[in-house]
Chain A
Amino acid sequence: MLNFFLLIVIYTGIYALMAIGQNVITGYAGMLSLCQAGFFAIGSYATAILSTTYGWSFWATLPVAALLSALFGVLIGLPTLRLKGDYLAIATLGFAEIVRNVLNNWDSLTRGPMGIQKIPMPSIFGFVINPYKKTGFLVMTIIFVLIAYFLFQRLARSRMGRALEAIREDEIAAESMGINTTKYKVWAFAIGASVAGVAGSLQAVFSLSVTPGTYTFMVSIMVLCMVVLGGMGNFKAVILGAFIIQLISYFPQLVGLSSMIPPQFKQILFGLILVVMMIWRPQGLLGREVRDYSRLTGEKGSVFRKKAKQAVSSTQGGER
């Protein structure tokens, strides 16, 4: 039981990395992309192939997985920049499916549907991180998520985060304010893809085998669900979203009802979550993160300042 719970937490971590990437693309830059599964697969296969065929260590394959995913992020980002909304979603969905089909059919490299087995376990300072023993792997996953969280949180609070938000709010206005929207949108894709690639690496050394069947459309949908459920534009929220979604998807097994509840049940639930959230709480459970500039103003009691401002704005609102 505890073991099973640890498994859920590990998967939460792996998916949280993907959700963090999705949050940059969707939550900040406002692009509805559905290809995290594709980048996830690229990361997984990069680690799998490099560590089995070429004998690289896991740590050496990580940057390759991230960079390769980022490269594909740029490749998908450039031609689809002109697309918006549904059209972008369809194009990126197509990309993810292309990746899966290539993996399924490029037998000489990926061994097709058989996949790649016997991926060596990662080790650090002589300590082997054995995925069967969960705890070591759990710690590694948590460290990865924490690092990603802090890096991305900082990124989002920087001028780049602000520029991405401007693009999301109004692309034409952002362009007219001197922001190179093309550059930033491609960057968002590259960054969002790279962290999904890292998640793929983790997935590869967690299951110690990769098969194309793991990287289906459902993965992208789950990641999108996590971001929508937690709250777009808030990295804490998407991690929370990842945990809740994982808990839901393993719920039948967790309570020992897997014989009664078919696995397809979770797909119904995800759809329901998306619909319910869109109707009643489109901002997600936690909502968008608000930047705090009080460190710049040097005023500590920003709550009081806000109250004073609210008073001002309400009187001004009354005039009209």
Chain B
Amino acid sequence: MILLETKGLTREYGGVVAVSNVDFQVNQGLITGLIGPNGAGKTTLFNNMTGLDMPTKGKVFFNGHDITGKPAHRICRMGIARTFQNIRLFKELTVLENVMIGRHFKTGKSPFHGRFLNALDSYFRMSREDEQMYSSALKWLDFFEMGELCDELAKNLPYGHQRELEIARALATDPQLLFLDEPAAGMNPQETEHLMETIGKIRDLGITVVLIEHDMKLVMNICDSITVLNYGQKIAQGTPREIKHDPAVIEAYLGKEEE
């Protein structure tokens, strides 16, 4: 079943076409890889699907709903979470608070939801809400074996943990679909190995994962389906085995063979 798809998605910046007429599908419950050389438009495609950027043309559908051009916080609330290529943690907040922010929109619901009184109401229910946020935040920290670090400021964490914390924060929003933008960037082989296990565990929780990655070992090992972009265009889509032998992909990565 298709969970998310884009139809003819195009994003132009002035004369530069970053993403051109891309049809991208994500199947529910699987891990989908998005690969391509630098500047191929992978992150732009991500941004257009998660509401941080607006496509020039084309549509994005999630669960059959048109989410094109919706603000990012709405899209997040519908069940799409993401991480960033250059880590975007709340640096001066603690590890625990970072994850609690992910729970933010899950709390604060009241009979007055969305009205002015809601602000007053949530004001007096604070401690109960904090408890809910706390326990579910801690659950996700334990998932990453980071419970011990919960009082540490995010900026003081080692790099690998920062990457994991970003994933934990995204998972705290209870997403159906998780976008990971180069999760293994800057990791050593052991950490990448560990990340692969983690992504597998996330899939086992029933969360669909889409990831941009340059680490071919990781992509080829865990992805069920791979889409390849080059110069903003989709040049291939298929299983890892098919992608490995696709002449267009080989050309994009290694160049054309001289006759």
Among B71, B77, B81, B104, contact of A159 (Cβ-Cβ < 8 Å): B104
Most buried by B among A159, A187, A288, A317: A159
Q: Does A162 contact B (CB under 8 A)?
A: yes
Q: Does A84 contact B (CB under 8 A)?
A: no
Are B133 and A159 within 8 A (Cβ)? yes
Q: How far is the CA of A295 from the CA of B101 in the complex (A)?
A: 19
Proximity bits, A291-320, B CB within 8 Å = 1, else 0: 101011100001001101100110011011
Most buried by B among A158, A166, A177, A308: A177
Nearest A residue to B90 by beta-carbon distance? A169
> Count of B residues near A, CB < 8 Å?
51
Proximity bits, B76-104, A CB within 8 Å = 1, else 0: 11000110100011111110110011101
Q: How far is the CA of A317 from the CA of B157 in the complex (A)?
A: 8
Nearest A residue to B99 by beta-carbon distance? A177
What distance in Å separates the Cβ of A74 from its nearest Cβ neighbour in chain B? Answer: 12
A-side contacts of B133, CB under 8 Å: 159
Those of B216-256 within 8 Å (CB) of chain A: none
Are B134 and A159 within 8 A (Cβ)? no
Nearest B residue to A158 by beta-carbon distance? B126
Proximity bits, A135-165, B CB within 8 Å = 1, else 0: 0000000000000000000110111101101
Nearest B residue to A173 by beta-carbon distance? B88
Are A179 and B104 within 8 A (Cβ)? yes
Among A166, A173, A288, A316, contact of B161 (Cβ-Cβ < 8 Å): A316
Q: How far is the CA of A174 from the CA of B102 in the complex (A)?
A: 9
Among B84, B104, B151, B161, contact of A178 (Cβ-Cβ < 8 Å): B104
Q: How far is the CA of A159 from the CA of B93 in the complex (A)?
A: 13
Nearest B residue to A165 by beta-carbon distance? B93
Q: Does B201 contact A (CB under 8 A)?
A: no
Q: Does B149 contact A (CB under 8 A)?
A: yes
Those of B97-135 within 8 Å (CB) of chain A: 97, 100-102, 104-105, 107-108, 119, 122-123, 126-127, 129-131, 133-134
Q: How far is the CA of A309 from the CA of B126 in the complex (A)?
A: 27
A-side contacts of B72, CB under 8 Å: 172, 175-176
Proximity bits, B160-179, A CB within 8 Å = 1, else 0: 11000000011001000000
Are B123 and A163 within 8 A (Cβ)? no
Among A157, A175, A313, contact of B73 (Cβ-Cβ < 8 Å): A175
> Count of A residues near B, CB < 8 Å?
41
Q: Does A258 contact B (CB under 8 A)?
A: no
Nearest A residue to B78 by beta-carbon distance? A178
B-side contacts of A159, CB under 8 Å: 104, 107-108, 122, 126, 129-130, 133
Are B107 and A179 within 8 A (Cβ)? no
Once A177-B76, A180-B73, A306-B151 are accepted as A-B contacts, the answer to whether A163 and B159 lie under 8 Å apart by CB is: no
Nearest B residue to A292 by beta-carbon distance? B151
Are A178 and B76 within 8 A (Cβ)? yes
Once A177-B101, A296-B131 are accepted as A-B contacts, the answer to whether A312 and B149 lie under 8 Å apart by CB is: yes
Are A169 and B159 within 8 A (Cβ)? no
Those of A264-299 within 8 Å (CB) of chain B: 288, 290-291, 293, 295-297
Are B76 and A176 within 8 A (Cβ)? yes
B-side contacts of A177, CB under 8 Å: 73, 76, 81, 101-102, 104-105, 169-170, 173
Are B88 and A162 within 8 A (Cβ)? no
What distance in Å separates the Cβ of A161 from its nearest Cβ neighbour in chain B? Answer: 10
Q: How far is the CA of A181 from the CA of B71 in the complex (A)?
A: 10
Q: Does B38 contact A (CB under 8 A)?
A: no
Proximity bits, A167-196, B CB within 8 Å = 1, else 0: 001101111111111000001000000000
If A177-B102, A179-B104, A296-B130 are given as contacts, then 9 extra A-B residue pairs at C-beta distance below 8 Å, sorted by A number, are A163-B101, A172-B72, A175-B71, A176-B52, A176-B81, A177-B170, A178-B73, A179-B101, A305-B151
Can you show 23 pairs from A to B with CB atoms below 8 A apart? Answer: A162-B93, A162-B97, A169-B92, A170-B89, A170-B91, A173-B89, A175-B73, A176-B52, A176-B81, A177-B105, A177-B169, A177-B173, A178-B76, A178-B77, A178-B173, A179-B105, A180-B71, A293-B134, A296-B134, A306-B151, A312-B149, A313-B157, A316-B161
- A-B pairs, top 4 by smallest CB distance, nearest first, are A169-B90, A178-B76, A178-B105, A173-B88
